[in-house]
Amino acid sequence: MTSPMKNYRIAPSILSADFAKLGEEVNAVIAAGADIVHFDVMDNHYVPNLTIGPLVCEAVRRITKAPIDVHLMVKPVDRIIPDFAKAGANIISFHPEASEHIDRTIGLIKEHGCKAGLVFNPATPLNYLDHVIDKLDLVLIMSVNPGFGGQSFIPEALNKLRLARQRIDASGRDIWLEIDGGVKVDNIAEIAAAGADTFVAGSAIYGKPDYKAVIDSMRSELAKVGKISC
Ligand code: DX5
Ligand code: ZN
């Protein structure tokens, strides 16, 4: 008997898109079967790179109905949260190291009508979940050090995913478990078997000429996951 396929979500990171035609790129990945727009915000302070802000979020909001998943790699973080909420973000995630008051930042995101996520760098312990998991909608495990697309997947992230999955299941809440960095067709099944249900992929999708072919391949890998032991 085959178990029903889990609800897996594919979230292309627009960091690897062609910014000269960003609207077309977003529409193209959604038409190719992606579920979510992953929106990487970098400030050249918390991470050594500089990307896009609320103005671009607002522009993307106008051309898609797909959920926009804003990944804030900025410090400080609170000042900019209302701007992203007004710009149409659906989910806003931040790194605990970038906030002086993590519980307050989660509250701020929710007060502005968005879902809240907490992001874990490769060396950041999951203990930050201890007292706030009941307020979260998403846990994002970084499988690279944040700042750039196109890096290699750090295998220890699989152990962390298993531990995060246990914590989420124990909470009994509907919390998405997202993975970000180095996700490809050839490792997505193993990542899903470790507990992830939401997959950010930048270079693996936008770096290829045929977005639908990549997303279809990812989905067929995910369809095998029940048969992989973790
Ligand atoms: C890294 C970003 C990622 C990145 C993923 O700091 O948060 O979302 O764009 O890119 P790939 O899939 O190429 O590793
Ligand atoms: Zn990201």
Task: Measure 3 CA to ligand 1 centroid, in angstroms.
Answer: 31
The answer to whether residue 180 is catalytic is yes
What's the confidence (pLDDT) of residue 204? 98
Residue 79 makes CB contacts below 8 A (sequence gap 6+) with none
Catalytic residue among 35, 69, 137, 180: 180
Mutate to test the pocket of ligand 1, among 19, 69, 141, 203 (most ligand atoms within 8 A of CB): 203
Q: At what angle do helices 211-223 and 22-31 cross, to 10 degrees?
A: 40
Which residue, 31, 38, 47, is CA-closest to 10?
38
Residues contacting residue 153 through CB under 8 Å, at least 6 positions apart = 143, 144, 181, 182, 183, 184, 187, 191
- Write down the pLDDT at residue 1: 42
Which residues are registered as beta bridge partners of 13?
38
Q: Which pLDDT value is given to residue 78?
A: 98
The alpha carbon of 103 and the centre of ligand 1 are apart by a number of angstroms equal to 26
At residue 5, the pLDDT reads 60
Predicted pLDDT at 178: 99
What is the full per-residue pLDDT of the chain (230 aa) written as tens digits?
444 567 999 999 999 999 999 999 999 999 999 999 999 999 999 999 999 999 999 999 999 999 999 999 999 999 999 999 999 999 999 999 999 999 999 999 999 999 999 999 999 999 999 999 999 999 999 999 999 999 999 999 999 999 999 999 999 999 999 999 999 999 999 999 999 999 999 999 999 999 999 999 999 999 999 765 44
CA-angle at 90, arms to 41 and 177, nearest 5°:
80
Residue type, 230: C
Query: What residue type is 183 in one-letter code?
Result: V
Atom of ligand 1 nearest to the CA of 38: 8
Distance between CA atoms of residues 226 and 222, nearest Å: 8
- Yes or no: say if 161 and 179 are a contact pair by the CB < 8 Å rule: yes
The response to whether residue 121 sits with its C-beta less than 6 Å from ligand 1 reads: no
Question: E strand or H helix at 200, and its extent?
Answer: strand 198-201
Cα distances (Å, whole numbers) of residue 148 to 20, 31, 74, 180, 189: 19, 25, 14, 11, 23
The alpha helices in 32-121, defined as continuous H runs, are 54-63, 81-86, 102-111
Distance, in Å, from the CA atom of 149 to the CA atom of 160, rounded to the nearest integer, reads 21
Is the beta carbon of 144 within 6 A of some atom in ligand 1?
A: yes
Active site residue 169: no
What angle separates helix 22-31 from helix 54-63, to the nearest 10 degrees? 50
The model's pLDDT over 154-186, given as tens digits with 9 standing for 90+, comes to: 999 999 999 999 999 999 999 999 999 999 999
Whether 185 and 191 have beta carbons less than 8 Å apart is answered as no
Tell me the C-alpha to C-alpha distance, in Å, between residue 91 and each of 39, 184, 207. Answer: 10, 23, 25
